[in-house]
Chain A
Amino acid sequence: MIEEIKSSVVELNSATARTYCTFHLQNGLYGIDALAVKEITVLPCITPIPHAPPEVRGYVNLRGQIVLVLDSNQIVSGISSTLGPDSRLIVCRAHLGDPFGILADGIGDIWELNDDKIEKYEVGAFTEETAACFSREELIFGMGKLEGGLLAILDARRLLPIIEAVIEHNFKKTYHRTGSLALENRHEKS
């Protein structure tokens, strides 16, 4: 999984322009590569999943497809999203894994940005121990310089790995606490 994250680091090329779909979270404006977005929809009724980390809000039924809803506020800033009339679900494309979408407090504009308008974050040291918190930091791969402000750009490909890392991390903690019981869990997972 670590390899996956590493390999998913976006290569920036100053010549190319990308389109970003922007949305509001509690901490400001965020963007995601429009090519990763399948659709944006009003939130259907969410079924919570007990035992899933807070980053996972639940399941929704989107025209017969069961879509996992990720709480983007929780992922980005550790604060649970509050659903309101402007809340939307940004559903990601199938090539990113099993169907999932992220919550947005509101939808912003579509921006086209040349890669040279984006300042890339540095990739830090990466170890198994820091996987959970580290991957959360690595979710944002750079800052886009818009005329009116800054745009934090999310890498959609790292969303599911983050969830997996959090779940794995939780299991590991359990392992330290209750020993063999959790070992069984891990065993089953593999």
Chain B
Amino acid sequence: MVEKSQPDSALLELFRAELETHAETLNAGLISLEKDPNQPKCVEGLMRAAHSIKGAAKIVGFEATVKVAHLMEDCFVAAQAGQIRLESGAVDALLQGVDALGRLTTPAESSAKGDSAEEIQLDQLLSRISAVRQGQSQSIEISATRPPESLPETSPPDPLPHTAENIEKKSSRQIEVTLDEFILEAKEHLSGMVNELLELEKSGGEWEPRHIDRLFRAIHSVKGGAGFFGCRVVESLAHALEEIFDELRHREGVSIESSLIDIVLAAVDRMMVLVDDIRRSNDADVSELLRRINGLGKNEPLIGLRNPSASASTMPVVFPAAKDAAIPTMERSASLRVSVSLVDRLMTLAGELVLARNQALRSIDDGTEAMRPVLQKLDAVTSELQGAVTQVRMQPVGNLFAKFPRLVRDLARQLNKQIRLETKGTEVELDKGVLELLSDPLTHLIRNGCDHGIESAAERQQVGKPEIGKISLSASQLGGQICIEVRDDGRGLDFERIKDKAVRSGIRTIEELSRATKKELLDLILLPGFSTAHSVSEVSGRGVGMDVVKINIEQLGGTLEIDSLSGNGTIFSLRVPLTLAIIPCLMVAVEGQRYAIPQKDLEELICLHPQLTSATVETADDREFVRLRDRLLPLVRLGEVFAHPRPFNADRQSEIAEKFRNKAIATPDALNKPCSETSNVIDATLLAAVKSGSRRFGIIVDEILKSEEIVVKPMHSSLKPLGCYSGTTIMGDGRVALILNVEGIARHAGIRFSECLSEQNATDGCSIGEDRLALLFEHGPREQFAVPLSDIRRLVIADRCKIERIGEREFISIDGVPTSILRLDRFLRVSAESGSGMLFLILPKKAAQPLAISATAILDVATLPENLATDVFRAEGVLGTAMLRGRVTLALDFARLAESAESADRFFARSDGSNHSKARILLVEDTQFFQELIGRHLKEAGYEITVAVNGLEALRLLETQTFDLIISDIEMPIMDGWIFAQAVRQNPSWRGMPLLALTTINSSESREKAKRCGFDGYLVKLDRDELLSAVSEILILRECVQDNSPAGGES
């Protein structure tokens, strides 16, 4: 028989991973069984999981694990055969078994009974599970409420199974400190022992009493310390060694064999490892080692160790698995474990490949037509590769959700409530990093839900709710974000108590609260130290938490929203990005170099232009500020920050302030310059308003370039002290750009606003509610208008000479797209503009066709009052009127205005007779051949085509552009047509979008499925005429529907 050596660490790693997966299955399965014991399918899954664990444990030689798993498997087999029923008592025992499986992850040699407390516990557990197997769950239910207590005298006084708990019990800072001291001391003693032992070995077994004395004293100290801190396992090892040394002391003249030293060294090494991670040391299984040490001390006379060959044969650690030839092999799995760094490297290389491809495409240009198809293929493969590599980092959110059923179950027991957890959307995939960071916030929200949300059964009955409370956890993907919802059907948030608490803690006045909206009230509970729980309980309600949850989510670049109906539960909606490796950033430039500001730090962009706004940079106390909506925003000039490697001091501040004060005075003549785009930009001060924690400030930059999604790479470790950067990235042209750390910049520039003041400002900013901020502008000389900021995509300064006229209508090219200009005086009874001077264009976020409202002056950003007066000025496209900045202001409904403009446009278009020649079609197709072919057919018929290579990309395009029709393939990488169609149908704004499937599959099932998924039509590739007639049919149909319900769909 081949002797097996200790399983290598890679194998153990694999085993632990495997064990974890199966343990999760077991946990989840058992809990669902507890709810409904009649689930044969579920039992089968449990049986398989237990069986797999057993098989794997055998291979690595974890005998105790094999035993537990084997017994559990037996239970499940019996349950499946109907011999026993797994009631909640039995489930308890089995769950403990699962816990034990997690703990027993160190090899134990045999089933021989050791005397360690661990084994006794194990035996108790085994007998409990055996009892389950025999169907005695009744009696078990009673004992289940009590932890096993009877431990033998040899065990230390504290019977707690985990040192961690043990230490936490005594937990005070002092103990923590002394524990650290103990660790240091123990390690000193142990390493001293190692040297001593090695000396002994060198001397060939000859020793003097003082050597052994030293060893004895060292181990004795370790034992004492370990005993004091309840580190049972370390103590037991130390005790065993102490006995050996004690015995040796009394046997002078006996030589010590190296085999004895081997064992002692092994024990010392093991203790070193255990001491290193002292809090988990009691989870370790050292019974095998103990047995060997005890064997030395008692059963075998020390002199008997003389025969080296005999002792050698006892030395190798033989794993029982080696004796068992018929080991079932581990289930073969189709997945592979790969290190994250390797995946990152692949990501990088894929990105580089894209760059290389771009260079290649640029360099061939004309003349080498033969190369083009090759390069195009390279192009396609590269994009696909990049997509696939990104996919590797993704994990289903179910992996995270799997731990919550257990949490809810345990909490429910603890709180004496009945709670059911439902999970949805477990298949939604998220970046591993994001997933890990979501764990804490979600745990917190679920704890909160169980503790404060769900009422007791009696309370629920009184208000007529089902006795069992429900917490549902669901995940879904919305574009580039994942939305996770934690919803409970409990008592909901008590608004009165929130108000009460807010007033009492002085955060808000009663006056303010009476005006506050529901959302504003809900946001209050996200403030630090705000808790409405009646009492602080074990589970939650300490007032720390919700703010931490919010901060955690924000750090991920996500958002947290709360909704609650008093008496009907609470909904927490988390939105987080799909991945952390790629973050949206604003690219800015300073002195010709590009820098990235993470979008999560960004509040708004401000352009201070002498012609456009009265706001300017003001200087006081050698610091620069700008007044933004009546708040002072401290300013930092990024160029100056970079010019001075040392943090700013007072001298530097005044030097900078002086420099720019002079500059501001030197160039006030900008007003008289002719209106051309370049001069406008040069004189403007561009600043990005950012937030760092509770502080807000403005960063002045030379240029604001664009928003971009960038791949984050770390800074060089030698440059970590440079606080102004959080990382690096590679730009599209292959150059490196630095990612700014807003907090570091604030520190460098010495932004000094007392925290509470800026805090107040920050919360005020939040409570305004971004949806009520509006842009104030003028069109004619008389009226002031307002458009909600949320409706605006961007502002453009128009060059009057570039406006073209076609009949009544005016067009201007913006980013190469002909955009029709909407003049307010043509739709409303307002004054017309003079036709000279500056002209601004306000581009809406949502518009079926490119369109812009013209304006002659951009005045300010102001908050729209909640109640607009609607009877002063009534007209289509006007929301109402309000007094803003001392003037009567017309608040515009952008969507309505755009619609009436579009219907006018359509009228013109129809009269041209080319009604759908401009229809925009989104073609979702992965094969280049079909992209070309279908694209050509459609283009020839006069449609405008945009191509997306898969569903995901198409969804992204849909977010930014509008289309009249989507034609989608079914079989595609990353996101196929089925999922894509469902996603389109789930989004309310795309629900009416015609969706045509175009595929090579021609079967009735897939036609059926297409209908179910939401496709309007189904075509088989590829009949040109059939395609074109189907497309025009759908488009005409759509137009009729729209005409019949004018101005209906959008609002």
Contact = CB atoms under 8 A, between A and B. Distances in A.
B396 interface: no
Mostly, the A contact residues are: mixed
Contact of B730 (A64, A160, A168): A64
Contacts of B736: 47, 58-61, 66
A52 interface: yes
A119 interface: no
Interface string A98-111: 11100000000000
B750 interface: yes
A95 interface: no
A65 B729 CA distance: 10
A47 B716 contact: no
B1041 interface: no
A60 B641 CA distance: 22
Contact of A178 (B349, B645, B649, B724): B649
A185 interface: yes
Given A48-B593, A185-B723, A64 B348 contact: yes
Interface string A50-66: 11110010111101111
A167 B728 contact: no
Contacts of A44: 734
Contacts of A45: 734-735
Nearest to A59: B736
B87 interface: no
B717 A98 contact: yes
Given A51-B645, A59-B728, A66-B728, A167 B716 contact: no
Interface in B638-696: 641-643, 645-647, 649
B646 A174 contact: yes
Contacts of A52: 645, 719, 722
Given A64-B348, A174-B647, A185-B647, A97 B593 contact: no
A61 B728 CA distance: 10
Contacts of B721: 167-168, 171, 185-186, 188-189
Interface residues of B, number: 33
B349 A64 contact: yes
Nearest to A188: B723
A48 to B, nearest CB: 7
B890 interface: no
Given A68-B716, A184-B747, A51 B722 contact: yes
Contacts of A174: 646-647
Interface in A156-179: 160, 163-164, 167-168, 170-171, 173-174, 177-178
B718 A61 contact: no
A182 B723 CA distance: 11
Given A51-B724, A61-B730, A163-B718, A66 B713 contact: yes
B386 to A, nearest CB: 12
A10 interface: no
Given A49-B719, A51-B722, A52-B722, A181 B352 contact: no
B717 A61 contact: no
A47 to B, nearest CB: 4
Nearest to A48: B593
B738 interface: yes
B351 interface: yes
Contacts of B647: 174, 178, 181-182, 185
A107 B412 CA distance: 72
B737 interface: yes
17 contacts: A44-B734, A47-B735, A49-B725, A50-B641, A51-B645, A51-B722, A53-B645, A58-B736, A63-B352, A68-B716, A99-B716, A100-B718, A174-B646, A177-B646, A184-B747, A185-B647, A189-B721
Given A51-B642, A64-B352, 16 more contacts: A45-B735, A50-B642, A60-B736, A61-B734, A63-B349, A66-B713, A66-B728, A168-B721, A173-B646, A174-B646, A174-B647, A181-B647, A181-B747, A185-B647, A185-B723, A185-B747
Listed from nearest, the 10 A-B pairs whose CB atoms lie closest are A50-B642, A64-B352, A64-B348, A59-B736, A47-B736, A68-B716, A51-B645, A189-B721, A98-B716, A181-B647
